[in-house]
Structures are given as structure tokens and as C-alpha cells.
Amino acid sequence: MKPHAGLLKIPSCALALSFGAGLSPWIPGSVGALVAFPLFAMLQIAPPYMIAVAFLAFLILGCMACGRTTELLGQQDHGAIVWDETYGMLLVLFCVPSGPWWLAFAFVTFRFFDIVKPWPIRYADVYASGGIAIMLDDILAAIYTIAFLWLVWAAVSIFLTG
């Protein structure tokens, strides 16, 4: 099945397609990652326990929604399924320094790791299946991104104070 706007009437598909971002004719994964920014703006004012509950709910519901949408589309990790990019980018946004340059750098770095898929991201992407696998490769890309940005932040801090 080809993705279409009618899928947004199905709640699991609406989530898996990041509320329509996955239907973008150009770079749907990047558009899906951009959906994380308004979610970040809404969540960052919440108390920490609410943020933790939201992340857990987004993960569990995301695995189920991505798995169900995979079944409907008949293809594992179809390009229109972008909730994993939204979730991964949201993880990154909560773990990097604040400021517009850091957020832009975080977006570019996350997309790099998500597209290039260094080991073990590619392994998770190729050898696993279902909703958990769809989410897993972007969670790993988020971890790579966070680690890389922390190293850059530490290097910049040392350079500026030294």
C-alpha cells in the first residue's frame, strides 16, 4: 500500500507518520525529526516526572504504532514511518546544550548518524523487524549524537577556558 493522507484517520498510523510529516514528498525523515522541536518546546516546561512518563509512553506507543503501520503498508520501516526520527531527535534535544546553534548542530548530527547508520545502528536496522526495530535504530542514532555532541561541547569548553 502506498502511504496517503487517509492513513492519518487511523490513530496508530497518525503517530507512526508523525501526524503527517512522513507524507512529505521531500526528505520525510528530516521533516519527521523537525516534529520533535515543538514537542520539545511543550515538554521542557513540564516537571521531570512528566517528561519521563511522556518518553516512556512515546516509546511504547511508538513501537506499537510503527509495527502496526508496517503491517498496513506491507514494508518494514517504510520511509513514511517517521515517528522513530521524531522520538530520536526528541531524546537528543533533551540532552544537548541549549541555544539555537547547538540545536541546529544536534539536528544535522542526528540526521547524519541516522542516514549513515554506523555499527551497530546498521545491524539493528537490517537484522531486526517490527516496531521495536524501527524505533531501535533511531534510539541508537540518538545515543551516538548525544555522545558526539557532549565531546564537542567538552572540547569547546576546554578551548574557551584554557
The set of residues, in sequence order, having a beta carbon less than 8 Å from that of 17 and lying 6+ positions away, is 3, 7, 8, 23, 69, 80, 81, 82, 83
Q: Are 92 and 86 in contact (CB under 8 A)?
A: no
CB 150 within 8 A of CB 92: no
- Give pLDDT, residue 121: 83
- Domain-wise residue ranges, the chain: 5-161
Q: What pLDDT score was predicted for residue 137?
A: 92
Q: Are 32 and 22 in contact (CB under 8 A)?
A: yes
State the CB neighbour count (10 A cutoff) for residue 114.
25
* Confidence check: pLDDT of 109 > 90: yes
pTM as predicted: 0.94
What's the pLDDT tens digit per position in 80-106? 999 999 999 999 999 999 899 999 999
Q: What is the average per-residue pLDDT within 111-130?
A: 84
Does the pLDDT value for residue 147 go beyond 80?
Answer: yes
- pLDDT tens readout for residues 44-82: 999 999 999 999 999 999 999 999 999 999 988 899 999
Report, as an integer, the average pLDDT of 131-154. 95
Task: Report the C-alpha gap between 98 and 127 in whole angstroms.
Answer: 35
The answer to whether the bond into 120 is cis (omega within 30° of 0) is: yes
The mean pLDDT value of the chain amounts to 94
Maximum Cα–Cα distance for the chain, whole Å?
58
**CA distances, 24 to each of 9, 30, 40, 137 (Å):** 17, 10, 21, 21
